[in-house]
A and B are shown apart, each in its own frame.
Chain A
């Protein structure tokens, strides 16, 4: 996803001279193509996230679309008030980019585990969450954001994720994106972020799930909650999958949306991370399984 991000950013910046990349002293062997191609639109703000986010808001207030790139919690929690007051409140075109969403940096320890980021960002009224499920969705989200500059949060995995889509899909905020349709299409998995890969694998590998479709939700926000009821109504069962704690996460967001029509609540089942992974260290796959995102759990 990192590579799709930077390739797409370079391509978009060729056409749009207002695109600026600010990094928090991170991005070795990722950001170089942009930095080399557009040295006047690339800034390393150093290890100083509050200033990084504040100055990005200042640049955006002068018409730039600023991508602020760092790892895991550094561009979110470390400068949460700058996102809230400077970016979101002033409705500025800053895209906060966090690489290492979920437990992608599992071995690096809890400091590098981004499992509460949706919770923080989705309480800000103007923020749009972009949580692509594969490199194709990364490109789709980037194109959408550059066409519609706004306060936004792009959550990336790391590198090497497979492409689930064969082409760059059309993405619309709040709209479930069909990945694979079962014959009846009454039951669907609905993933956000990098768990698309896991759901895809589980669905393909288990005959017992053959009547389940697969959908992804790469763009969602507080504002698009109202669009959920009509989509939920089309299904008897919806199973959400996310590599985030259930508290404040994507499944919880969907349930909050479903409160508008409470009979829909029982149609939703959430697969999210158990907080027991907080403090655990290990590979992403190990920690996801420990936290409940296992093949076995997705089948029941």
Chain B
């Protein structure tokens, strides 16, 4: 198992190569969650790459399905499937489609329309509660996605039913599709809202692995947990950071080379 720091770099590297190869969008959204995924898969989630449907695995759902390259990358690094498959990303008929697909080994649920992952995750957490099983459910959401009423419906249900086995992570990079969150439809005071909805809310730096590990290990005794992860869209690539256009643009050859150089991966 690589360190979470190396894993995060590999996620960024693979995601950049995938969007470059497929001339696809959403690299900013994928870079934003690379550290969260590295810590989740490197330190927290119980998984079995040889048996992805193993009954006692933890369930991870990417609700911001457009950031799928980061998840495909981490699953390939952990050998759920061969890394060569990443090259088919975005090809005709490839299971690695440009919104996350459950046809890919290790992916629980296909998303793409926002506001679907958390209600689905609530159902999974409820299933574990009904059966008295100890596995956890993690749902990673975008911040813009919190505009969707379905997420707030889901939080109310999760709190009411004391789904302590449910952890939602909000990738709070403050940018949505056209503009900043603040200029689109403000979410603040987000943490207060989450507490008011009956959740345990934890605010963290979404790029600090130690803090993420601590927060993700936390299970409240009575409430579902929501981690508000402050992040930077495009994190790790200087010319992409905080720029709304990298929600859509894909890097050309020079930009890809410059981006990969910034990652400073020392290949073993």
Binding site for B on A (CB under 8 A): 20, 40-41, 43, 45-46, 48, 50-51, 53-64, 81-82, 85-86, 89-90
Q: How far is the CB of B58 from chain A (nearest CB, A)?
A: 13
Query: Which residues in A have their C-beta under 8 angstroms from that of B156?
Result: 46, 48, 51
Contact present for B109 and A48 (CB under 8 Å) = no
Residues of chain A within 8 A (CB-CB) of B131 are 62
A286 CB to closest chain B CB (Å) equals 36
Partner of A90, one of B109, B118, B119, B150: B109
**If A53-B119, A85-B110, A86-B120 touch, does A59 touch B153 (CB 8 Å cutoff)?**
no
Contacts of A59 in B (CB 8 A): 123-124, 126-127
Per-residue 0/1 for B100-139: is the Cβ within 8 Å of any A Cβ (1 yes, 0 no)?
Answer: 0010000011111101101111111111101100000000
Which among B112, B113, B124, B157 is the interface contact of A51 at CB below 8 angstroms?
B157
Which chain B residue shows the least CB distance to A41?
B130
Main secondary structure of the interface of B (DSSP, over half): helix
Q: Is the CB of B123 within 8 A of A55?
A: yes
Q: Identify 21 residue pairs between A and B in the complex whose beta-carbon atoms are under 8 Å apart, listed by A's number.
A: A43-B161, A48-B157, A50-B150, A50-B153, A51-B150, A54-B122, A54-B123, A55-B126, A55-B154, A57-B119, A58-B120, A58-B123, A59-B123, A59-B127, A61-B120, A62-B128, A63-B127, A81-B113, A82-B150, A85-B112, A86-B116
- The listed residue (B112, B120, B128) touching A54 by CB distance below 8 A is B120
Q: Give the interface size class of chain B.
A: 20 to 34
How far is it, in angstroms, between the C-alpha of A57 and the C-alpha of B109 when the chains are bound? 10
Q: Which residue of B lies closest to A51 (CB)?
A: B153
Specify which chain B residues have a CB less than 8 angstroms from the CB of A58 in the assembled complex. Answer: 119-127
Name B's A-contacting residues (CB within 8 A).
102, 108-113, 115-116, 118-128, 130-131, 149-150, 153-154, 156-157, 161
A59 to B163, CA, bound (A): 14
**A46-B159 Cα distance, complex, nearest whole Å:** 13
* Contact across chains for A90 and B122 when beta carbons are under 8 A apart: no
Closest to A45 in B: B157
- Assembled-state Cα–Cα distance A89/B97 (Å): 15
19 additional contacts (CB under 8 A) given A51-B154, A53-B119, A58-B127? A46-B153, A48-B156, A48-B157, A54-B116, A54-B118, A54-B119, A54-B154, A55-B154, A56-B123, A57-B119, A57-B123, A58-B125, A59-B127, A62-B131, A64-B130, A82-B150, A86-B116, A86-B120, A90-B102
Residues of B within 8 A of A48 (CB): 153, 156-157
Residues from chain B with Cβ under 8 Å of A40 in the complex: 130
| Distance to closest chain B CB from A47 (angstroms) | 9
CB nearest to B155 among chain A residues:
A51
CB distance from A254 to the nearest CB of B (A): 32
Chain A residue with the shortest CB-CB distance to B127 = A62
